Amino acid sequence: MKRGQSDEVLFWRFQGAVSAIVFLALNGYDFEAPEDDLVEMVYGIARSELDKSDVALFLRKWSRKVD
C-alpha cells in the first residue's frame, strides 16, 4: 500500500468483507470465521497478497448453509 492510502484502502476492504458476509446471510448462510483470520484476510487483500480465488476459498471454508 502506498503511504497515506492505507486507512482508505483498509476501510474499503473491510466494507467489501462486510458486504460479502451480509450477502451470505441474505442467501441463507452462516459465516463464522475467527475474527483474527478475517482481519488477516482483509489485510492480505489490501496488501495485494490475496486474489479473488483466495477470498472465495476463505468464504467457503467458514460458511455453511442454514436449514
For residue 20 the three cell numbers come to 460479502
- Choose between 4 and 49: higher pLDDT: 49
* Residue spans per domain, the chain: 6-65
12-52: per-residue pLDDT in tens?
888 888 999 999 999 999 999 999 999 999 889 888 899 99
Angle between the N-to-C axes of helices 6-26 and 52-62, in degrees from 0 to 180, rounded to the nearest 10: 50
pTM beyond 0.75: yes
